Homo-oligomer: A and B are copies of this chain.
Amino acid sequence: MKIGELSRATGTNIETIRYYERIGLLPAPARTDANYRSYGDAHRARLRFVRHSRELGFTIDEIRSLLDLSDHPERDCADADRIASAHLEQVEAKIAQLSALRDELTRIVGRCRGGLAGDCRVIEALGDHGQCGGAH
Contacts and interface: CB of A to CB of B under 8 A. Distances in A.
Interface of A: 45, 48-49, 52-53, 55-57, 66, 69-70, 72-78, 80-81, 84-85, 87-88, 91-92, 94-95, 98-99, 101-102, 104-106, 108-109, 112, 114-120, 122-123, 126-129, 136
A134 to B, nearest CB: 12
The binding surface of chain A is classed by DSSP as helix
B127 A77 contact: no
B117 A105 contact: no
Q: How many copies does the complex hold?
A: 2
A105 B98 CA distance: 18
B76 A102 contact: no
Given A91-B98, A95-B95, A73 B116 contact: yes
Contacts of A105: 56-57, 84, 87-88, 91
